[in-house]
Amino acid sequence: MYLTLEQRVRDAFAAHIRNAYSLDIPIVVEQPRDAQFGELALPAAFALAKQLRQPPRKIASELASAIAPIPGIAELEVAGNGYINVRFDRAAYAAALLQGEPAPPPAPGKIIVEHTNINPNKAAHIGHLRNAVLGDAFVRMLRARGHQVEVQNYIDNTGVQVADVVAGFHFLENKTPEDVSALIADPAVRFDYYCWDLYARISRHYETDPAALHWRAETLHSIEEGRAPLVEIGHLVADAIVELHLNTMLRLGVQYDVLPRESEILHLQFWATAFELLKQRGVIHLESEGKNAGCWVMPAEAFRESGEDTEDSKVIVRSNGTVTYVGKDIAYQLWKFGLLGRDFRYRRLRTYPDGHELWVSTDEPQPGLAPSFGGGSRVYNVIDVRQSYLQRVVQAGLRALGCEREAENSIHFAYEMVALSPRCCAELGIELSEEDRRRPYIEVSGRKGLGVKADDFIDALLDKALEEVRSRHPNDSPEYQRSIAGCIAIGALRYFLLKFTRASVIAFDFQEALAFEGETGPYAQYAAVRARNIFNKLRERGETLPDFAAALSEPAFARQLASEDFWQVLLGASQADSVIEKALAAGEPAHLARYAFQLAQSFNNFYHQHHILSESDREKRTFLLWMTQFFASQLARVLAILGIDTPEVM
RNA sequence: GCGCCCGUAGCUCAGUUGGAUAGAGCGUCUGGCUACGAACCAGAAGGUCGGGUGUUCGAGUCACCCCGGGCGCACCA
């Protein structure tokens, strides 16, 4: 409703200013710092003052008196040196909220969000969780606003990282594909954890014995050419780890629509097709001399930023004829926009507990119908900020191919890394150099096996949540306690990862990440549970919920909302859609997370001040109950959009 | 060397495309449970928004210059 009125006011002023002054200026609508100034404030007169060469206050007065009445708006007033403050009709506003708002109309076009993208060669760590949670929350926000979204999780199943683990199994451990299969099937072994250690081990081996690097080259060639036994081990490792990653992400409620795999980018001639396009359009050329002799390269002027003086072109095809990651990524990006003229074949990989289906690319023709994937009108790539350079090259590739609009709609949804605080390293028993100890944070490194594994961390949260739940609900069954604890643990984790803005490095610290008090997920969940408890109590007393629509007429709302406290609380609780829109525009799920916290804080305050069930004034009691219900529904909705469930009890 | 990001309370972070008196959590101190269960609430202390110059009605926010830190600039991804 708040969003509706914002838009209504903005449109009304824009139209009026167009008519009266023949000016087309963007109308800024903001929330006044102080509630006494009303619900909305427009600094439009300041912008007009420049163009009209008149004092802003005079223009503001003109605007406020000349503009036609706006439905839902009680009054406009001029304040300060030219602000126009807007006051809502409180009773009408509440009545509209009570009636409920229709869902937003479906937005045109499909948005593709690519996230998670973990190399399938080892267990996921907390950095991967940030990627997935950020991407997933953004997807939920888009969907909440009526966008059609397709979630892709790219699987680099034939890359160097997988090859290194394969080489570890083959050369370091002399394991056959059968041995690896047995390991995967062994319930006593966490295969992704095993690979985590093996990956660190072979990386160390390469460092001490660089001659062994030919293992990597040999493995890559074997995988590319489909030679046994290395290609088999490669498939076994990648497929098994993908399953484990999917399980880990499902613990957080993160699901995908399709997993496009690198193997199909190559086998189904995606790259070959893109290569032809790039050559034809002269986007890349064969370098004949210098350090890149024999490589197909994209010249620096295609992607360098203004002011940057690099002359280094980017290698797309190596001198040995193999394509780099960026090359494959250009082909993949073209496919996402439906520009490649080719498609994957798809196989159903799993059906999620809620019935949603996940598909994976395959090169074998499949019986039956698969859904249609790709062909988006906008693409968000959730990839950490360190890959900005590569994302720029991909975007430049599209632009150079003449796909200007698609290049503009290729959005690198960049976020900073999750690092480890020095204290966290100490707790993990990681020895730090003198130099590292002085750093604000330590970078996670898969090669060094340095990091906090996602499942370990989730388990730690679960243990702590379980302890809390047990102390509060000792008589509930262990299964029930576990399910509540799981909900709280995931709430804590998701909120923790979302409360930081994308540009902020998270220096991971167990003490902060395991907090359930203050600005945390459980705090917000607790507020929602408290609200719900009031209704439980009501039922226990044998009462039924009042018919709010019948009991709360506009005059009743007017009487209750004359209280500034109630009005402010209601106003704050009704801004979810407005906040989501702004958070989407800013690309910051953190803004929505903060809002969820504020909402919870506001409710806790309300809860403490007003004892609802014992209120003797009948109308007021009904009103308080309605407010509680409204709060509970809004809070639960916002939390759900953040991917956080509301537990039954806490 | 070049590019990008960051610097706001003791700590961790917000600060809505330049807007009205810079906010939150944690920590510290004080107070509040026989209530709809305190994973909560109320209050206090805590700031030269790294420094400087500029742009203008107005700068934490924009420009430029310094200082400090991080990340990129592979025939790795």
Over residues A199-218, the pLDDT tens digits come to 999 999 998 898 999 999 99
Q: Beta partners for A80?
A: none
| Chain B bases closer than 7 A to any CB of the protein | 1-6, 12-17, 19-21, 23-27, 32, 35-42, 57-58, 69-77
In the 3-class helix/strand/coil scheme, how is A43-83 assigned residue by residue?
A: CHHHHHHHHHCCCHHHHHHHHHHHCCCCCCEEEEEEECCCE
Q: Is the CB of A33 under 7 A from strand B?
A: yes
How many residues does this entry show for chain A? 650
H or E stretch at A39: none
**Nearest nucleotide relative to A325: CA against C1':** B77
Last residue of a domain, one of A54, A88, A122: A88
H or E stretch at A630: helix A618-641
Same domain as A221, residue A81: no
**Residue A628 is assigned to a structural domain of this protein:** yes
Same domain as A599, residue A562: yes
pLDDT at A439 (0 to 100): 81
User: Which residues of chain A register pLDDT less than 50?
Assistant: none
Q: Is the CB of A54 under 7 A from strand B?
A: no
Q: Is the CB of A445 under 7 A from strand B?
A: no
Q: Beta partners for A112?
A: A150, A379
**Nearest nucleotide relative to A535: CA against C1':** B36
Amino acid making up residue A502:
R
**Residue A95 is assigned to a structural domain of this protein:** no
Q: Read off the CATH number of the domain in which A361 is found.
A: 3.40.50.620
pLDDT at A311 (0 to 100): 67
Same domain as A215, residue A342: yes
Q: Is the CB of A436 under 7 A from strand B?
A: no
The C-alpha atoms of residue A610 and residue A625 are separated, in whole angstroms, by: 11
Contact A441, A115 (CB under 8 A): no
Q: What is the pLDDT of residues A225-269, one digit of tens each?
A: 888 899 999 999 999 999 999 999 999 999 999 999 999 999 999
Same domain as A468, residue A555: no
pLDDT at A310 (0 to 100): 66
Q: Is the CB of A46 under 7 A from strand B?
A: yes
Q: What is the pLDDT of residues A506-562, one digit of tens each?
A: 999 888 999 999 999 999 999 999 999 999 999 988 888 999 999 999 999 999 999
Q: Is the CB of A463 under 7 A from strand B?
A: no
Distance from residue A358 (CA) to nucleotide B28 (C1'), in Å? 51
Same domain as A479, residue A500: yes
Distance from residue A501 (CA) to nucleotide B52 (C1'), in Å? 29
Same domain as A239, residue A151: yes
Q: What is the pTM of this model?
A: 0.96
pLDDT at A527 (0 to 100): 96
Q: Beta partners for A152?
A: A114, A258
Strand pairing report for A40-42 and A73-79: unpaired
**Residue A330 is assigned to a structural domain of this protein:** yes
Contact A298, A314 (CB under 8 A): yes
Q: What is the pLDDT of residues A423-456, one digit of tens each?
A: 888 888 888 777 777 788 888 888 888 889 999 9
**Residue A573 is assigned to a structural domain of this protein:** yes
Last residue of a domain, one of A493, A513, A533: A513
Sole residue written with tokens 């150099």 = A433
Strand order in the sheet with A314-317: A285-286, A296-298, A314-317
**Residue A269 is assigned to a structural domain of this protein:** yes
Q: Which amino acid residue lies closest to nucleotide B20, measuring CA to C1'?
A: A33
**Residue A40 is assigned to a structural domain of this protein:** yes
Contact A494, A592 (CB under 8 A): no
Strand B-proximal residues of A, range 180-239, CB below 7 A, are: none
Same domain as A214, residue A116: yes
Same domain as A369, residue A273: yes
Same domain as A581, residue A483: no
**Residue A190 is assigned to a structural domain of this protein:** yes
**Nearest nucleotide relative to A473: CA against C1':** B37
CA angle A226, A229, A231 (to 5 degrees): 35
pLDDT at A380 (0 to 100): 97
Q: Is the CB of A499 under 7 A from strand B?
A: yes
Number of folded domains that form chain A: 4
**Nearest nucleotide relative to A600: CA against C1':** B40
Strand B-proximal residues of A, range 363-422, CB below 7 A, are: 385-390, 416
Same domain as A336, residue A262: yes
User: Three-state SS for A187?
Assistant: coil
Same domain as A54, residue A200: no
User: Where in the sequence is the domain holding A73, given as residue range(s)?
Assistant: 2-88
**Nearest nucleotide relative to A484: CA against C1':** B39
H or E stretch at A647: none
Q: At what angle do helices A126-144 and A589-609 cross, to 10 degrees?
A: 80
Last residue of a domain, one of A374, A391, A411: A374
ipTM, 2 decimals? Answer: 0.95
**Residue A157 is assigned to a structural domain of this protein:** yes
Q: Which two tokens stand for residue A464?
A: 């702590």
In degrees and rounded to multiples of 5, residue A73 shows phi and psi of -105, 125
Distance from residue A393 (CA) to nucleotide B56 (C1'), in Å? 39
Same domain as A215, residue A139: yes
Cβ neighbours around A542 below 10 Å, total: 6
pLDDT at A216 (0 to 100): 92
